[in-house]
Structure 1
Amino acid sequence: MKRLLAITAAAGLALLTACTAGTEVSPTKIEASPTSHDPVTIEFWHGFSADNELKAFADTLAGFKQKYPWITVNATKAIQDDQILQAVRGGNPPDVALSFTTDSVAQFCKANIFQDLNPYLAASKIQADTLFPKVIAEYTQYQGKRCVMPMLADTYGLYYNKKLMKGNQPPKTLTELAELTKKLTVKDAQGNIKVAGFVPTSQMYENAPLHTGVMVGAKWTNPDGTSAVGSDPQWKKLMTWQKELTDALGYDKLEKFRKSFGDEWSADNPFNKGKVAMAIDGEWRNAMLAADAPEVDYGTAPMPVADDQPERYGAGFIAGTVIGIPRGAKHAEAAWELVKYLTTDTDALVTLSNAIRNVPSTLPALQSPKLKKDPNFQTFLDIFANPNSTTLPAHINSVFNQQTLSEAQIKWEAGRAPDLNALLAEVDKTINEKLKLTAGG
């Protein structure tokens, strides 16, 4: 599953919020199952595009067809959030839509982009609070409205190349990671990096602060929704550590090395090619390595943690794919049957998990004996179950908040913002001003 920051989606959501804020859709009476078995074709949009993902989806939809033979699913692949948003805005949405962007859930719910699923859950007698792990519940609802359901989860950990590790064990603390990075980094006669022990900069693929903040237990927001970035000392701790390691390796050298990489989602990923010894990545990399680089002998481990927080080792960041019924769907009851099947049917979730190596999102699926639990995948199941693992609860300005901190961190790493305290204070100010505008609008 490919987790991308949907900046274009944020722009579309902002526009739709202005058009639909305060417009509530009155739910009609929802039946637990369609009252008619007349043949119906529903449109299903999703973002999957890799061959193994598409095959897994085809197999899963075949199982749905066996259970609901009167419902035909017309699936469209490689759909992005902005396409869903434009379709809703234009009054011609699909019946079911899947999004990789949990960051947008608050906007999806607030602007009624997706319908409130609570009436459907009640009619189907599904207890979401006991079916899904608590951490998942935090990113699939906003202010009591559950407008999307979770369909598989993403968990982040550390991948390491056993050959490049040269017998060293994966680091458990940030100090160990820094020392090992320096030890394993190989440079040529001109000082250019040929192999990196680890690339510490935030622009390195999955190193965004959203994912690395869990290594120090950093907070994004205060209880009132305002920014906690500047007041939480953990962000300063993390960014100071990253800057010191970046400076030790050379920012310009790291950037030259990073810009030589292939596409993150292709066979040219530098971990596949043996160019980095350790990398932060999601559980899906297991399936990609099996498909694109089966010769790589690798292991997985939790991300290292701050030296003064050893009890938090084993935790990681958790997010996931979400799915729902867009406002204006033409066949809502049949659409709900597909949403329910893909998000609550244990065999369907296990089939998808085994094929694309995402973490199942229901407790029964996690406990299924059919779930493949090889050691490298088990790492992510353990991270998912760790009580210190965190997610980013739905926030109306989630994407904006992340973008603001990311831009600040790039300035800091590059040496363009020498005063970290002032930089983080400016992040707070920018985020809080945006929050006031959003609340006022």
Structure 2
Amino acid sequence: MRFVPLAVAAALALTACTANRQAGPSLGDRPRPSGSASQSLPAATIELWHGFSTDAEVKAFEQAIAGFRKKFPQITVKAVKGVQDDQITQAIRGGRAPDVAASFTTDNVAQWCRSGAFQDLTPVIRQDGVDLSVLPAVARSYTAFEGRQCTLPLLADAYGLYYNKALMKGERPPRTLSELTALAKKLTVRNAKGDIEVAGFIPSVQYYENSPSHLAPMVGATWYHPDGTSAIGSDPAWKKLLTWQKELVDWYGHDKLDTFRKGLGDEWSAEHPFYKGKVAMVLDGEWRNAMIANEAKDLDYGTAPLPVADDRPDLYGSGFTAGTVIGVPKGAKHPQQAWELVKHLTTDTASLVTLSNALRNVPTTQASMRSPDLAKDANFATFLGIFSHPKTSTLPAAVNSVFNQEAMASFMAKWEKGGVPDLDAGLKGVDKLIDDKLKLSGG
């Protein structure tokens, strides 16, 4: 799965809310063909826009589509690679929408569902008898908003703990936050000046994948109340998480940790500090397995679920998930044929396994996760378990998703630096920022 910077995603979310509701064929107001769909659907050429761009990614996507082409030989699928959310939204607004569009981020789902930029798939899901229970509940939750199932999950990301076996020296991966703290301290190496040479674990929210959304499941923290207002200031789990985080930052020394962090290699290169033995344990997604195989094939490492709060052992094995979503935009010229393609890509076991094996993301149906054709060594299997765990969580869909995440990330960065004198008041301040923005957005 590709990483979408929050700053970029913010701009995309702003444009999504203005999507044009132009007239045109839709899934809701056109009758379904009678008889077998493969026989009764008329011939058409449909456009599928997706964000995959490397040769291997594009090839995998074409292989996944091959099964659909065999089933519907009268439908030509024109796949367009490297398309980002802002291009999709602008095309919808300009009346040039593709028939099918896939996105790497779930941050725009709420805007797309609410505005009608993506069509509600609920009617055709019911008409075709598609059983969404084959998807984990968490995957269903991040693809819908306000009762509108305007997207479906294509592949998923799950986040866990990677650990360097040589640096661990026989220690087992930590299961609780107190164990993580103790092991991080034990594995940290400093020079004579006290500067960090090897970090056991970097607790800073500014480090790579340590975003608030990825860390929150470790303590079971919730983002919103049922009415959509912020729960950050009233959920004690957030205070627990931030207290643990800052205590470990303070043990390292904020300035020393910051200097060390800034001197590390790029996250998306062969210079990643985990590859180089500079960090013993890191929070990361399942796709890191494929990157290690390509960039550090001799690295001896293991994977495990993320440690959890000491008083929440029931959370162990769970984690954070999100993923690629796919749907039929408003204004699609051939919505019925588009739906058949979306249904195929998101429910056909062979297609999902093909994509997962090539891209090393988690397939999203129970059947595809159990398929004997799925490549799943022990390190990848960890993430299949995390994704399917009943307490794995996601960032709930919200119209201001990017803004809310940035507000919390900014606060956590200020907190770990020692710039927040009153944690309770600070968290309430984050609530106010989120709730004020929600009011401006129409609640």
Superposition TM-score tier, normalisation by shorter sequence = over 0.9
Classify 1:51/1:256 alpha carbon distance in 2 versus 1 (closer, same or farther; 3 Å).
farther
Task: Report 1:10-49 matches (<5 A).
Answer: 10-18=10-18, 20=20, 27-31=29-33, 33=37, 35-38=40-43, 40-49=44-53
Q: Is the 8 A contact 1:118 1:145 kept in 2?
A: yes
Q: Is the 8 A contact 2:21 2:330 kept in 1?
A: no
Deviation per CA, 1:342-362: give whole Å up to 9, x if none: 101011001111222222111
Q: Is the 8 A contact 2:19 2:117 kept in 1?
A: no
Deviation per CA, 1:58-89: give whole Å up to 9, x if none: 32223333333333333232322112111111
Classify 1:20/1:65 alpha carbon distance in 2 versus 1 (closer, same or farther; 3 Å).
closer
Which secondary structure state, in structure 2, belongs to the residue aligned with residue 194 of structure 1? Answer: strand
Give the alignment partner of residue 123 of structure 2, picking from 110, 114, 119.
Answer: 119
Q: Is the 8 A contact 2:19 2:116 kept in 1?
A: no
Deviation, structure 1 residue 219: 0.9
1:99 is aligned to 2:103: yes
Which secondary structure state, in structure 1, belongs to the residue aligned with residue 363 of structure 2? Answer: coil
Give the alignment partner of residue 227 of structure 2, picking from 200, 203, 224.
Answer: 224
1:76 is aligned to 2:98: no
Provide the rounded CA distance (Å) in 2 between the counterparts of 1:49 and 1:198: 33
Classify 1:329/1:313 alpha carbon distance in 2 versus 1 (closer, same or farther; 3 Å).
same
Task: Give the match for residue 172 of structure 2.
Answer: 169
Deviation, structure 1 residue 328: 1.2
1:274 is aligned to 2:277: yes
1:282 partner letter: G
User: Root-mean-square deviation (CA), in Å?
Assistant: 2.2
Task: Report 1:184-263 matches (<5 A).
Answer: 184-263=187-266
Classify 1:401/1:36 alpha carbon distance in 2 versus 1 (closer, same or farther; 3 Å).
same
Give the alignment partner of residue 357 of structure 2, picking from 351, 354, 358.
Answer: 354
Deviation, structure 1 residue 21: 8.3
Provide the rounded CA distance (Å) in 1 between the counterparts of 2:231 and 2:171: 37
Give the alignment partner of residue 378 of structure 2, picking from 344, 365, 375.
Answer: 375
Task: Give the match for residue 93 of structure 2.
Answer: 89
Task: Give the match for residue 434 of structure 2.
Answer: 431
Deviation, structure 1 residue 166: 1.5
Deviation, structure 1 residue 36: 4.5
Deviation, structure 1 residue 99: 0.8
Over the matched positions of the two proteins, sequence identity in percent amounts to 57
Provide the rounded CA distance (Å) in 2 between the counterparts of 1:438 and 1:249: 41
Provide the rounded CA distance (Å) in 1 between the counterparts of 2:343 and 2:97: 19
Deviation, structure 1 residue 22: 12
Which secondary structure state, in structure 2, belongs to the residue aligned with residue 103 of structure 1? Answer: coil
Task: Give the match for residue 404 of structure 2.
Answer: 401
Provide the rounded CA distance (Å) in 2 between the counterparts of 1:20 and 1:247: 50
Q: Is the 8 A contact 1:60 1:348 kept in 2?
A: yes
Q: Is the 8 A contact 2:155 2:324 kept in 1?
A: yes
1:27 partner letter: D
Task: Give the match for residue 345 of structure 2.
Answer: 342
Deviation, structure 1 residue 37: 4.5
Moved more, 426-435 or 364-373: 364-373
Q: Is the 8 A contact 1:160 1:277 kept in 2?
A: yes
Classify 1:253/1:430 alpha carbon distance in 2 versus 1 (closer, same or farther; 3 Å).
same
Deviation, structure 1 residue 9: 3.6
Stretches of structure 1 that go unaligned for 5 or more consecutive residues are none
Provide the rounded CA distance (Å) in 1 between the counterparts of 2:333 and 2:22: 22
Provide the rounded CA distance (Å) in 2 between the counterparts of 1:15 and 1:358: 28
2:172 partner letter: Q
Provide the rounded CA distance (Å) in 2 between the counterparts of 1:267 and 1:80: 25
TM-score, with length taken from structure 2 = 0.93
Classify 1:119/1:296 alpha carbon distance in 2 versus 1 (closer, same or farther; 3 Å).
same
Deviation per CA, 1:45-64: give whole Å up to 9, x if none: 21223444333223222333
Provide the rounded CA distance (Å) in 2 between the counterparts of 1:421 and 1:403: 19
Moved more, 14-23 or 301-310: 14-23
